[in-house]
Amino acid sequence: AFPTAGLPVEQPVEVRWSDRMVPFITAETDGDAAFTLGLVHAHLRLGQMTLARQLSQGRISEMAGPWTTDIDAAIRAFDFGRAAPEILAAMPPESRFWLDRYVEGINHYAGQLEDWPHEFAVGDLEWEPWRPEDTITIGRVSGIDINWGVWVSLLQLEDQELRARILARVDALSKGGKATFGDSDATFTGLKALEPVSYTHLRAHETEADL
């Protein structure tokens, strides 16, 4: 079920599976490690990955029919993938190479499949080659999914001055950052210059607002 021959790797790569089917990859080069990670990820989750791509691009109706068109319209209004080209362009060469090799692994695995995951039959899906932009777009949706509760909490703060200070802090961070996996010091430029917000102060207001 897992390809082991004729793979575009520079050195031998070892994939071990624990008794709980957790994979462990040992490779001599970063490129081989990224490629093999793409193979393993597709082997375990190609159906889930494809569903996530459909959702992140506002293409749920292709699977579920016209009753989800309003959801697709809302997702497309956010346009999570719009920044993907700029993010790719800002990546250091080594990061972009790693992502490209990972994507190559996904597509190599899909290219040798005969029995597709059941999600393809249920959703009447056809395989589309994976792109680096797909990974970035899904990552952006995941970031929203993880962090949306923070923004709801901020909107519920009754102290407008405190809320404004926190939002200004977030805005300063976003302007000082980079769309890259590069040096952390460069990514968080200006962090030390920001006025600290008291955690005790925040907790007190959370209690008063019954958040």
Question: pTM of the prediction?
Answer: 0.73
* E strand or H helix that includes residue 99: helix 93-111
What are the two backbone dihedrals, phi and then psi, of residue 27, each rounded to the nearest 5 degrees? -135, 155
What pLDDT sits at residue 174? 67
Quick: pLDDT tens for 34-50: 999 999 999 999 999 99
Does the pLDDT at position 30 exceed 90?
yes
C-beta of residue 145 within 8 angstroms of C-beta of residue 56: no
Better pLDDT: 182 or 141: 141
